[in-house]
Homo-oligomer: A and B are copies of this chain.
């Protein structure tokens, strides 16, 4: 397991950010950061709750929600909306990439962050709209499900 050092570093880094704002590093916050740092996949709120429970069963559901919100405001955590209203969370600072979800099987495909660059430029020039390509997952049919019809 080589996730401990990463997680510890992330906790320290966030602790500094929190204190700079007059906020505090606490057990639940440590647990959420560690849980997110330990997995590569993005996690739903419920999956974060479970992952946190493995470390410390006394952390309450509501605290996980509040922590995710706090860390989002700090810019430490980002979320992606995939498909039917599921929100998934991950630590910011990972290599930027975007997602496409299969509307049939739910599989999520990771895509290069640059995929929408030309679209971004066009949206900005023509509509003044600044695209955030990683905030919502694209939708469509994956190769498997497409073959299956």
- Which stretch (A6-14, A24-32, A48-56, A113-121) binds chain B? A113-121
Chain B hits for A94, CB < 8 A: none
Q: Using an 8 Å CB-CB cutoff, how does the interface string of A102-145 with B read, 1 for contact, 0 for none?
A: 11000001010001101100110001111111011111111100
Interface of A, helix, strand, loop or mixed by DSSP: mixed
Chain B hits for A118, CB < 8 A: 118
Contact present for B109 and A127 (CB under 8 Å) = yes
Contact present for B130 and A146 (CB under 8 Å) = yes
When all copies of this chain in the complex are counted, the total is: 2
User: How many residues belonging to A are interface residues under a CB distance threshold of 8 Å?
Assistant: 33
Complex CA distance for A21 and B94, rounded to whole angstroms: 49
User: Is A81 part of the contact surface with B, judged by Cβ < 8 Å?
Assistant: yes
Chain B hits for A141, CB < 8 A: 129-130, 132
Chain B hits for A87, CB < 8 A: 84-85
Beyond A81-B81, A123-B138, 19 additional pairs, beta carbon < 8 A: A81-B83, A81-B136, A84-B87, A111-B123, A111-B127, A116-B119, A118-B118, A119-B119, A127-B143, A128-B146, A129-B140, A129-B141, A129-B143, A130-B140, A131-B138, A132-B139, A132-B141, A136-B138, A136-B139
